[in-house]
Structure 1
């Protein structure tokens, strides 16, 4: 009986911690525009991966919202991300590229990491394994599924406060 209860509790915790949704073959992205994610505009700071994280999001312009991400660990740049959310065919696409501290690119020159829009709510935008959540005008959460070295995947939360 104890094992059953323990498994039930662990399963319940893992389900309640799930804040991302995966894109499945055959899905269509919902109709959406940048006005629905404009609340991300601003300068945000938080902590993750043993360091300080910073994101800066521009307001919509030219059909996209541009962002930069920086992770600083022990006073040194660990990596950057540059990207955007852009309007494509009546919906939204989230794209980014990674760079090391010296701006050496991780992806090939013409490649991006793309996240298709799965669903959108007033305060949550669900891209494929990447969710943006407005907690308040001064706080947001980002959730992303990342791969571990052992081949497993986990959902990581980034909590940011407006600067």
Structure 2
């Protein structure tokens, strides 16, 4: 019975996160540069969370690629994210901060949400529970594991088209 429970848990976890992987403590991030994610550069729009999503990614400059994210629901900004992917110690680190529609920060002043690089594939970049996928020059997917106040987690897909 325990073996059945164990495999049931593994099966459910695989359904929850099919396109993301978690960074395991004690491992190191692979070597990478901004050239590995330069294809993210541009203006992207899609739909998620019951609204319109927009991301704008700058080209590599100064060791980072800056991005902004906006979610608009019923004609009103729900929240923003501001962040970057930066080169650190021969690898990449994705960092971001959240802001409400009124630009009040969610994280403490000096805190960021950090995603360590886990692995690279030709058209996919896997950060800790956050994956960037290049479908074509005109389409990308982002997959993010999000949680709620009860500790439940699910993988959310954002499909974007180049603007």
Give the TM-score taking structure 2 as reference length. Answer: 0.91
Q: In the alignment, what sits opposite 2:37?
A: 37
Q: In the alignment, what sits opposite 1:159?
A: 159
Q: In the alignment, what sits opposite 2:52?
A: 52
Deviation at 1:150, TM superposition (A): 2.5
1:1-163 superposed matches below 5 A: 11=11, 14-15=14-15, 18-163=18-163
- Runs of 4+ aligned structure 1 residues displaced above 2 Å come to 11-17
Structure 1 window deviating more from structure 2 (90-99 vs 17-26): it is 17-26
Secondary structure of the 2:151 match is coil
Instruction: Report if the CA contact (8 A) 2:80-2:100 is conserved.
Output: yes
Secondary structure of the 1:96 match is strand
Deviation at 1:149, TM superposition (A): 2.9
> CA–CA distance in 1 between the matches of 2:27 and 2:110?
26
Secondary structure of the 1:31 match is coil
Give the TM-score taking structure 1 as reference length. Answer: 0.91
> CA–CA distance in 2 between the matches of 1:108 and 1:94?
18
Question: Aligned residues, how many?
Answer: 156
Instruction: Report if the CA contact (8 A) 2:52-2:71 is conserved.
Output: yes
> CA–CA distance in 1 between the matches of 2:20 and 2:103?
29
Q: In the alignment, what sits opposite 2:4?
A: none
RMSD: 1.9
